[in-house]
Chains A and B, each alone.
Chain A
Amino acid sequence: MNTQSNAMSESHLESQVAAPVVISGTRRMYWSLRRELWEYRSIYIAPLAAASLFLFGFLISTIHLPAKMRSLSALDSAQQREAIVMPYDMAAGLIMLTALIVGVFYTLDALHGERRDRSILFWKSLPVSDLTTVLSKASIPLLVLPLLAFTFTVALQFIMLLLSTAVLLGSGLHVATLWTRLSFVQMSLLLLYHLLTVHSLWYAPFYGWLLLVSGWARRAAFLWAALPLLAIAIVEKIAFNTSYFTAMLQHRLGGAAEAVVAPGTLPMDPMTHVTPGHFLSNPGLWLGLAIFAAFLAAAVRLRRYQGPI
């Protein structure tokens, strides 16, 4: 017993003499993000499943591809492009929609789940600040999901392109029309731009609100997230017979495409005039980001006081 405790205190002294390991904020953030990906595997599984599902459907549709390409030769180049690009846009749309849904449900549970399963005190017993935790949780819908959606979409679209090429070559057709009408790199860059501007920066206040509700609500976080918005809209309508709040929400949800690209064009259209200057000088963007920051600060503060539920 005595020798044992002596050995213990010696090794204790040694470890004190050794230079203390300094753990950077980046490393804490990295592990916090890994924790989220371990806990919520749907973050990558759901977009991956959507991509696989789409690929399966596309695989079957390639039966008609040679016939479709033959019929295209009668059309002009704009119509050709539209017909060729359509499945690629649909693929991007499906994966983005999946990522949005996952993002909403993830954010609503992010600060709720750790209180519900009482693990919050375990997390709080480790040297990771509330700020780091909340920031890591906010960056899932704002960074991780858009980047995952981008990666999966580009991979899916590339496989689709290779498959189409193989099918066309196999049936003795030229692939020139397909490759010239589909500008792959431009399409991918536009997708990235769309994801980072609309899905990340423009929708940020929504995710901030969901995160705050998730940290505050004891149960039924979804209702607490939706009902106050509805209540404000109804009260405004009854009291002043106006609907500015509803219009504001609609603008935030649907007006994003207008804000990032010139009006009247589809976000995925290669002809789109991308207008980052216009987007960045939009006061609505900065107001939204300020609101997002306020929601986040409130969520950090809330987590300090919160225990298990």
Chain B
Amino acid sequence: MACIEARGLRKTFGPTVALDGINLRVEEGRILGLIGPNGAGKTTALNAILGLTPYQGELRVLGRDPWTERDRLVQDVCFISDVAVLPRWIRVSQVLDYVAGVHPRFDRAKADSFLAKTTINRARKVRELSKGMVTQLHLALVMAIDARLLVLDEPTLGLDILYRKQFYDSLLNDYFDRSRTILVTTHQVEEIQHVLTDVMFIDRGRIVFECSMEELESRYLEVVVHPEQLAAARALKPMHERQGFGRSILLFDLKLAHLNRKQLVAFGEVHTPNIADLFVAVLADTPGDKSGHQAGQVPANHEGAPR
């Protein structure tokens, strides 16, 4: 069963279209990164999935309609966001008691053992903790809940790199298993590249790109082209060209351009592109006024002349 399934998911705020008919399917046991610029519709999509906002179109999360069946769905779904903050007045011990009191799938011992690894004092109020500690506390609560879907909306915003690394390490090592699904949005894309199993780009309320990480590695290739071979490389219709280390770096979609790795190795050093570069390439080639992109379809106009 798909964990999340949407068909024609649409949401408007007055004249503003936040979600413009999204189709998506997230299988169980995946870690999907939803990447997009500010205002692309990420948070609206997450809110619809979490049943926090009504929507048009069809949406099923764990087989349920999140808006009408929210009260039942919420037992199986967890949520950490930069916005959904823990109340500042609550004590650490109180929030543990409260979640243990209301959540049927909360394992108090698990939360305690996770907190024991931190320096968080139970008698403290949330307002007395640093931002990193608050996130650790929230993560401890969420990891102790045996949920089937975890939604993370910019979970590490404003944290230093140590806390960020620790956050994703804990998530992978102590929480994730193949029966859970994680949906994460973040602007710190490079840091989660190794965490994800799938990636999806959203722009102006549409999904403009989606692929699994295995596919990304086999299908997309960046070449740091020797200057003398630039013209020959450009003739092979790269998706995107950028400058770096004083060289031109060309990004190829091997499948679309009917190329293989060997042909490109001749032009220079090749490597798998990181998500951020791929994101820039896809979005640069996605003019706002063209509206032909469907979910699951790579933008068709890769042939656009490299800049």
B71 touches A127 (CB 8 A): yes
B175 to chain A, nearest CB (A): 8
The stretch of A7-15, A96-104, A205-213, A222-230 in contact with B is: A7-15
B165-186 at interface with A (beta carbon < 8 Å): 173-179
Choose one: B78, B88, B89; the contact of A125 (CB below 8 Å). Answer: B78
Contact with A along B87-102 (1 / 0, CB 8 A): 1111100100111011
Q: Which residues of B contact A28 (CB under 8 A)?
A: 101-102
B53, B81, B87, B107: the one within 8 Å of A15 (CB)? B107
Let me know if B98 and A34 touch, CB within 8 A: yes
Find out whether the CB atom of A121 lies under 8 angstroms from the CB atom of B102.
Answer: no
Q: Which of B52, B103, B104 is the one whose CB lies under 8 Å from A121?
A: B52
Q: Mark B55-95, 1 if CB is under 8 A from A, else 0.
A: 00000000000000001001101110101111111110010
Nearest first, the 5 A-B pairs at minimum CB distance are A121-B84, A31-B101, A119-B87, A125-B79, A21-B104
11 contacts between A and B (CB under 8 A): A4-B173, A12-B146, A20-B105, A23-B103, A28-B101, A28-B102, A31-B97, A31-B101, A117-B87, A119-B85, A119-B86
Contact in complex: A12, B179 (CB < 8 Å): yes
In the complex, what distance in Å separates the CA atom of A27 from the CA atom of B106? Answer: 15
Given contacts A32-B102, A305-B54, 10 further A-B contacts (CB under 8 A): A8-B174, A9-B177, A9-B178, A9-B179, A15-B105, A38-B94, A122-B84, A125-B79, A127-B71, A128-B102
**Interface of B, helix, strand, loop or mixed by DSSP:** loop
- Specify which of B86, B105, B179 is in contact with A21 (CB 8 Å cutoff): B105
Q: Could you give, for residues 27-50 of chain B, a 1 whenever the CB lies within 8 Å of some chain A CB and a 0 otherwise?
A: 000000000000000000001001
Q: Are A118 and B103 in contact (CB under 8 A)?
A: no
Alpha-carbon gap, A22 to B175, bound state (A): 23
Cα distance A190–B99 in the bound complex, in angstroms? 40
Beta-carbon nearest neighbor of A131 in chain B: B71
Least distance between B155 CB and chain A CB atoms (Å): 13
Assess whether A114 is in contact with B87, with CB atoms less than 8 Å apart: yes
Contact with B along A120-160 (1 / 0, CB 8 A): 01101111110000000000000000000000000000000
B102–A27 contact, CB under 8 A?
yes
Residues of A within 8 A of B50 (CB): 125
* Structural contact, B174 and A117, CB atoms closer than 8 A: no
The answer to whether B85 touches A31 (Cβ under 8 A) is no
Interface of A, helix, strand, loop or mixed by DSSP: helix
When C-beta atoms are compared, the residue in chain A nearest to B89 turns out to be: A39
Q: Please name all residues of chain A whose beta carbon is closer than 8 Å to the beta carbon of B88 when the two chains form the complex.
A: 117, 119
- CA A12 – CA B84 in complex, angstroms? 27
Query: How many chain-B residues does the 8 Å CB contact rule pick out?
Result: 39
Q: Provide the residues of chain B in CB contact with A31, threshold 8 Å.
A: 97-98, 101-102
**A94 → chain B, closest Cβ, in Å?**
28
Residues of B near A305 (CB, < 8 A) are 53-54
Please give me the residue from chain B that is nearest to A119 by CB atom. B87
Q: What 1/0 mask marks residues of chain A from 89 to 109 whose CB sits below 8 Å from any chain B CB? A: 000000000000000000000
Given A9-B178, A124-B52, A126-B103, A15–B85 Cβ distance below 8 Å? no
- Residues A12 and B85 in contact in the complex (CB < 8 Å), given A27-B102, A31-B98: no
A118–B85 touching, CB < 8 Å: yes
Given the known A-B contacts A38-B89, A125-B74, are A118 and B99 also in contact in the complex, defined by CB atoms under 8 Å? Answer: no
Q: Let me know if A30 is at the binding interface, CB within 8 A.
A: yes
Q: Known contacts A127-B75, A127-B102; is A121 also within 8 Å of B179 by CB?
A: no
Hey, which chain B residues are within 8 Å of A73, CB to CB? none
Residues of A within 8 A of B84 (CB): 118-119, 121-122, 124-125
Q: How far is the CA of A308 from the CA of B84 in the complex (A)?
A: 9
Evaluate contact between B102 and A117: CB separation under 8 angstroms. no
Q: Is the CB of B105 within 8 A of A39?
A: no
Residues of A within 8 A of B102 (CB): 23, 27-28, 31-32, 126-128
